[in-house]
Amino acid sequence: GENVEQHPSTLSVQEGDSAVIKCTYSDSASNYFPWYKQELGKRPQLIIDIRSNVGEKKDQRIAVTLNKTAKHFSLHITETQPEDSAVYFCAASKGSNYKLTFGKGTLLTVNP
Amino acid sequence: DAGITQSPRHKVTETGTPVTLRCHQTENHRYMYWYRQDPGHGLRLIHYSYGVKDTDKGEVSDGYSVSRSKTEDFLLTLESATSSQTSVYFCAISESSLSGNTIYFGEGSWLTVV
């Protein structure tokens, strides 16, 4: 089955700096790659996703890049703010049933 | 919130007792999922459903069963709860759009087995 590895497990940045979280996947047939943000005690919330027919997608301060050849994708957050502090999860799926395989998460701390 | 409601939100139960968690959705989505979340493991798929009476196993299905007798309800049952099933359980739905499907999660059910 699919295996998704996520790095780093913790990331601390200063407010205004950029943050990058990287994920690799094992199944070359995977074609959907969402990113979720989870605050303590809350549900995972989708922040951005990318499908295998594009290489990059941006939404304001958040961007995701996908390298299908290398089987990795990354989340980029620019101009970080304290409210960006949370756990971020990457995931991958293939086919029409959208069963997600998740990475183990990255705890991002943005220091004021 | 994609119209997903989980119940109960919090439950403490004793080892060996049966427990059923309910996921209810109001928007007629075909696909529904149950995930569990544990420290150090992220979220892992337990079971999913692709229609009424159509279900399949995920990666951590042992000790769990599911049922979907109506489009709007997806039930997760622990037949005989064990301490290893203490976890946070998230229901999810797959929402269709022109660009593809997107997965949204419910608010979670915190289960403690003592």
Q: What are phi and psi of A108, to 5 degrees?
A: -100, 125
Q: What is the pLDDT of residue A54?
A: 84
* A interface test, pick of B31, B46, B105 with most A CB neighbours within 10 Å: B105
% of chain B residues with pLDDT over 90 = 88
Which of chain A's residues have a Cβ under 8 Å away from the Cβ of B43? 44, 89, 91, 100, 102
Report pLDDT for B40: 83
**DSSP-based three-state secondary structure for A35:** strand
Chain B contact set for A101 (CB, 8 A): 45, 59
- DSSP-assigned letter for residue A93: B
Report pLDDT digits (tens) over A7-65: 999 999 999 999 999 999 999 999 999 999 999 999 999 999 999 888 999 999 999 99
A104: its two tokens: 């183990």
Interface probe for A, chosen from B103, B105, B110 (most Cβ of A below 10 Å), is B103
- Average pLDDT in the B11-30 region? 96
CB-closest option in B58, B99, B102 to A46:
B102
Looking at the complex, report in whole angstroms how far the Cα of residue B62 sits from the nearest Cα belonging to chain A. 17
The C-alpha of A3 sits at a distance from chain B's nearest C-alpha, in angstroms, of 11
Distance CA B40, CA B57 (A): 22
Considering only CA atoms, which of B111, B41, B31, B50 is closest in space to residue B77? B111
pLDDT digits (tens, 9 = 90+) for B60-101: 999 999 999 999 999 999 999 999 999 999 999 998 888 888
- Report helix, strand or coil for B84: helix
Alpha-helical (H) ranges within chain B are none
Reading the block at residue B55, the tokens are: 């279900």
Q: For residue B107, which residues of chain A lie inside 8 Å, CB to CB?
A: 42-43
Phi-psi region of A77 (alpha: psi -120 to 50; beta: other; left: phi over 0): beta
What's the whole-number average pLDDT of chain B? 95
* Cβ-defined contact of A98 to B103 (cutoff 8 Å): yes
Measure the CA–CA gap between A26 and B56, rounded to whole angstroms. Answer: 22
Amino acid B96: pLDDT: 84
Report the alpha-carbon angle B26-B29-B30, nearest 5.
140
